[in-house]
Structure 1
Amino acid sequence: MARIDLDLAHAYKPNPQRDEDYALLPLKMTFNDGGAYALLGPSGCGKTTLLNIISGLVTPSQGTVKFGGQDVTGQTPQQRNIAQVFQFPVIYDTMTVGENLAFPLLNRRKSQRGLTPDRIRQRVGQIAEMLEMSGQLNTRAAGLSADAKQKISLGRGLVREDVSAVLFDEPLTVIDPHLKWQLRRKLKQIHHELKLTLVYVTHDQVEALTFADQVVVMTRGRAVQVGSASALFERPQHRFVGHFIGSPGMNFLPVRWAGQGLDVAGRVLPMARNPLHGEGSFALGVRPEYVTLAAPEAAGAVPATVTQAQDIGTYWLLGARLGAGSGADGGEQTIRARLSPDQRIPRAGDTVWLSLVGPHTCYYRDDVLIDNVSDSSVEVAA
């Protein structure tokens, strides 16, 4: 295992001039030895390019890749000692499950001292047990389901103890949805037990937030935030993170400072101090989970007209319309709230008051979080 330091940019076309010309805009990033990381973002954001640069399948057009402080930018995946698991199974159908799991170890036997036949059997048994395949070690892979074959691929990536890192490129694509949940939990358990450095590419936020200790959120070739699941949810550093993380994502409302308070959709909320720290265009961000029903005229609340109320099962999703052309951007604003099913749920057409400002409110300028607003947010004046 090794600490991985990246200081690079990458473009597939020569002489890039604009941001749009880059698959990866300039970034500096460190993956610590033994950490579990996820690269999360929509298709085309650069996460697979970044993974392939780490593995050595792609050489960055600018900058360096270092493993354990050593520059490995020009080295192959074999020289970097990387294990990689792809979207679809990469196994030998003519071999048994046990032979497939043992193959990476047998390949390294000459170069790794202490890798005796007994140790190989022990390691294969350990990985098979973790993946709940102990009873299939003597089963030929050709007759197995796609799910089982991909579990073998995961095992082949995890079986070696001497790797610098194990890289996963959306490895659960072909897995049955029910089994996906089990394997996400299993990978988390395996990481805790084996202490391998794992880097996992996905566009599925549930996979990323379940598996990884640290998540790298990417968009348009840029890494916009690296953090834990709670940090990404509670304090998105970029509007894209607030939008992408959560179901549904964060509400964003244009706001402005109106002298004694915050103008939100035409209603001035009295504030003890200005949370915006300047003039210009700003956005208030608040997650649907933290939008609550309030008493009429309550401090920190705004009136809204309910447009829909949808029963999701464990909660109700309320859609509402704020203002009537007098907001900070001169237009009507919409907002979503997640409400508990055990409270009275308004119906479409009802007028409600929604509380927006509190400890979980975030403020953004030019899509970036205003960092010097404390976690306690800004108190509403009485």
Structure 2
Amino acid sequence: MASITLDHLAHAYRPDPRDPQDYALKEINHVWRQGGAYALLGPSGCGKTTLLNIISGLVTPTQGRILFDGKDVTNLPTEARNIAQVFQFPVVYDTMTVRENLAFPLKNRHLPREAIAKRVEEIASRLDMTRVLDRKASNLTADAKQKISLGRGLVRSDVAAILFDEPLTVIDPHLKWQLRSTLKELHRALDLTMIYVTHDQTEALTFADTVVVMHDGAVVQTGTPEELFERPAHTFVGHFIGSPGMNVLPVRVDGATAHIGDVAVRLARAYPALPAGEKIELGVRPEFATLARAGTGLPVRVKRIDDIGRARIARVEIAGHAAAAMVPDGLALDGDRAGLALETRQIHIYAGGVLVPGEGGVG
């Protein structure tokens, strides 16, 4: 088990990088605590797999260092880092039984037979594989084979970290929730440092204590699922997390008032000195925007209402810009004109995509 320090870490696949756009992974400085459950979340090509491969030793960074418990491992090979890694597709020994597959990492380390048997039974039980322990892996489904891969990664208690690279890709959808919950329970029980790479926000938010959101090779925010939802540090985070994502609207800000076209929005804080030349935007999640009768709140035009089972979401237009809002039960609309009520303290202002704190409080 280890804390992991990323010290001025960056990587470029092209030789002689000069500009930020030359880097697949832009500079990162961060410390991940021992025993933490982390998710690297972002779209394909954002740099998350590059970062995971640097941590595992498959890639040597162009600049900076990586430290495990303060020890510089930047130039050490994978086998010298004492990690376990679970890949996107199953990696198993087909000619071995499930029991032999799970025991293999422990036998390689010459653990006593009794200790191996006890640990294998524990992990198999947690993964609901006890009844297939003596079956050959070749006779199992892709789902079951990936559960063996997960088990092999989890069976060692002495690893510095376990790295998961989109491990549920081949798992049937109805099993994914169960396995995410199992991994979370195992993390709590085993106190292992776990790093989970995914492009799926549901996987990231249900597995991790801390989510690292990546975009265009850079870390744009690190925080708890609640922090990412309630206070996105970047408009990308607001867009990427949530369904639907955060409403982001171009505005002009005058002190504690934002103007969406000719519609004035009262803010909870004042913004007296926004940077010149940057695009200024207002962000508010649909969960904090509620449709109301016309003449109440901000004037909007309703384009359509989507019923998603647990809620109804209105697609509206405000001053010519699209937005989404929640529809309260029992609301009756007269035509396509309506009002929009925003929770003032859940409105954020961004300059160049980056959250601006604002000053003081209003009202």
Whether the TM-score (by the shorter chain) exceeds 0.5 is yes
TM-score (norm 1): 0.90
Q: CA offsets per residue over residues 146-196 of structure 1, 9 Å max, x none? A: 000000000000000111100000000000000011101110011001111
**1:175-214 paired onto structure 2 within 5 Å:** 175-214=171-210
Partner of 1:334: 322
Q: How does 1:229-268 map to 2 (within 5 A)?
A: 229-258=225-254, 261-268=257-264
**Number of residue pairs the alignment of both structures matches:** 360
Counterparts in 2 of 1:187 and 1:260: CA distance versus 1, 3 Å: closer
Residue number in structure 1 paired with 2:300: 304
- Report the counterpart of residue 58 of structure 2 in structure 1: 57
**Partner Cα separation in structure 2 for residue 345 and residue 107 of structure 1:** 68
| In 2: Cα distance, 1:85 partner to 1:4 partner | 18
Distance in 1, matches of 2:250 and 2:326, equals 21
Taking the aligned partners of 2:155 and 2:255, their CA distance within structure 1 comes to 63
**Deviations 1:258-304 (Å, cap 9, x if unpaired)?**
46733123122456863464364421100011111245555xx3101
Q: Distance in 2 between matches of 1:97 and 1:270?
A: 62
Runs of 4+ in 1 over 4 A off after TM superposition: 270-273, 295-298
CA distance in 2, matches of 1:190, 1:260: 47
Deviations 1:295-325 (A, max 9, x none): 5555xx31011011111111112111112xx
Letter paired with 1:152: I
Contact 1:258 1:268 in 2 (8 A): no
Matched with 2:4 is 4
Residue of structure 2 equivalent to 1:85: 86
- Is 1:354 matched up with 2:340? yes
How far did 1:20 drift?
Answer: 1.9
Question: Structure 1 60/259 Cα, relative in aligned 2: closer, same or farther at 3 Å?
Answer: closer
Closer, same or farther in 2 for the Cα pair 1:271/1:193, shift >3 Å? closer
Paired residue for 1:95? 96
Query: Is residue 363–residue 369 contact of structure 1 (8 Å, CA) maintained in 2?
Result: yes
Contact 1:289 1:339 in 2 (8 A): no
One-letter identity of the residue aligned with 2:83:
I
> Which amino acid counterpart does residue 18 of structure 1 have in structure 2?
D
Correspondence for 2:26: 25
Q: What is the CA–CA distance in structure 2 between the aligned matches of 1:284 and 1:369, rounded to whole Å?
A: 10
Structure number with the higher strand fraction is 2
In the alignment, which of 221, 224, 232 is matched to residue 220 of structure 2?
Answer: 224
* Structure 2 partner of 1:117: 113
Query: Is contact 1:276-1:282 (8 Å) kept?
Result: no
What SS does the aligned partner of 1:87 have?
coil
Secondary structure of the corresponding residue to residue 63 of structure 1: strand
- 1:114-152 CA distance string (max 9 Å, x none): x21100000001000110111111111111000000000
Identify which of 262, 284, 287 aligns with 2:285: 287
* Residue identity matched to 1:290: F
Aligned partner of 1:344 in structure 2 is 331
Tell me, in whole angstroms, the C-alpha distance in 1 between the residues paired with 2:339 and 2:248: 17
Provide the secondary structure at the position in 1 that maps to 2:251. Answer: strand
Aligned twin of 1:326: none
Aligned partner of residue 270 in structure 2, secondary structure: coil
Identity %: 55
Note the aligned Cα RMSD (angstroms). 1.8
Secondary structure in structure 1 of the residue aligned to 2:346: coil
Q: Name the residue aligned to 2:39.
A: 38
CA 309–234 in structure 1, closer or farther in 2 if over 3 Å, else same: same
User: CA separation of 1:144/1:246 partners in 2, compared to 1, >3 Å: closer, same or farther?
Assistant: same
Indicate the SS of the match to 1:199: strand
